[in-house]
Amino acid sequence: MAENRQDQIAKLQALENEDKQDTGKMAFRDLIVCHVGVPVKEHFPKVKKDGVTQKNDDGSDVRSKESDGFMYTFSQFGTATKVMVIIPKKYTLELLTAYKVSGLGYQMRQANMIYLDENVHLNSF
């Protein structure tokens, strides 16, 4: 029984390490989310130079003049965690409908939020 538990722990640790990328982003697979009516917004990425976000004179982040897609905001089923995703195309989503979201991004536990901005896939549940 202890061997079985050790095998499970080893598999879980391997899975966790597999999900981490060089960028520090984590892989999220098939999150079940619900569209709760938050309006879709056009997204403009932060301008970076040599990996450092550029700031303007008042200390705010500089944003690109070109959009890289649209920001969708969902609520994760079962936890009500806010899930924000950046997708290149604009879709018409149905209110209070469940979707599956996968991609690379960050989990911000203090903010109760997940932010996905790379390799994002949105599918019907």
CB neighbour list of residue 108: distance below 8 Å, 6 or more residues apart: 114, 115
- Dist. CA 85–CA 114, nearest whole Å: 8
Q: Is residue 16 part of a domain?
A: no
Q: Is residue 14 part of a domain?
A: no
Give the tokens for residue 119: 């390799």
* 67 neighbors 44 (Cβ within 8 angstroms): yes
Q: Is residue 31 part of a domain?
A: yes
Which of 12-21, 27-36, 85-94 shows the lowest per-residue confidence on average (mean pLDDT)?
12-21
- In the chain, what is the greatest distance between 2 CA atoms, to the nearest angstrom? 62
Task: Please tell me the total count of domains within the chain.
Answer: 1
Q: Is residue 18 part of a domain?
A: no
Q: Is residue 9 part of a domain?
A: no
**What pLDDT was estimated at residue 70?**
96
Q: Is residue 3 part of a domain?
A: no
Residue 38 pLDDT greater than 80, yes or no:
yes
Question: How would residue 21 be classed by pLDDT, with cut points 50, 70 and 90?
Answer: very low
Q: Is residue 119 part of a domain?
A: yes
Digit-coded pLDDT (tens) for 43-99: 998 888 887 888 888 888 888 889 889 999 999 999 999 999 999 999 999 999 999
What is the domain range of residue 90? 23-124
Q: Is residue 62 part of a domain?
A: yes
Among residues 63, 13, 61, 19, which one has the least CA distance to residue 43? 63
